Amino acid sequence: ETGVTQTPRHLVMGMTNKKSLKCEQHLGHNAMYWYKQSAKKPLELMFVYSLEERVENNSVPSRFSPECPNSSHLFLHLHTLQPEDSALYLCASSQDLALAYNEQFFGPGTRLTVL
Amino acid sequence: ELKVEQNPLFLSMQEGKNYTIYCNYSTTSDRLYWYRQDPGKSLESLFVLLSNGAVKQEGRLMASLDTKARLSTLHITAAVHDLSATYFCAVLDSNYQLIWGAGTKLIIKP
């Protein structure tokens, strides 16, 4: 595997379900991100991790719970979601938060539908 | 609070024509990124612009940054169908977060 991978690619869940999204980066990066992409809205940053520590949580509802067990893996745990949470969830990684270049590399995304 | 505006949001053009996408932002930043997204696909990094006056070119795409005007442009020269995609600009804020524009959906007709 190369780059940033995400599983599953598609997920349909009911409002009472619990599921998790997984992201893995094979680039040796230190920073990882979760984004939400909804139709007709700019990309929204949800969480940022640097060296496995959360550095930003942009007022995301508690029904979204991130986990970063090591610098290569990032999870997004989902529970009691709402239909408006249906979106494309993108994971990204970058070499380091503070580096001048800090280009972010994105995974293919998980298309989430909440019924 | 940093805000990023792109225009136009939708652009339909003929092959062979030139056009420019604009990205304005509201507060000081010296780092701006351009990404491309094909339908159903993820985002692909195109350019990273780090300083005032920076200009980068790749094939038919050229990006520039004017930090004083808080403006970046993505210029498309002699467009071809393969360049049809949605293009996003993103600006780094003081907390090292990327603030994204809404995207410009570009359709290039043969």
Give the model confidence (pLDDT) of B33-44 as tens digits: 999 999 888 899
**Over residues B11-16, mean pLDDT:** 94
Distance from CA of B45 to the nearest CA of A (A): 7
Q: Which residues contact B76 (CB under 8 A, 6 or more apart)?
A: B13, B18, B19, B20, B21, B60, B61, B83, B106
CB A104 to CB B103 under 8 A? no
Distance CA B53, CA A95 (A): 25
For A3-46, the pLDDT digits (tens) are: 999 999 999 999 888 999 999 999 999 999 999 999 878 899 99
Q: Do B42 and A90 touch (CB under 8 A)?
A: yes
Contacts of A98 in chain B (CB under 8 A): 96
The dihedrals phi and psi of A72, each to the nearest 5 degrees, come to -100, -15
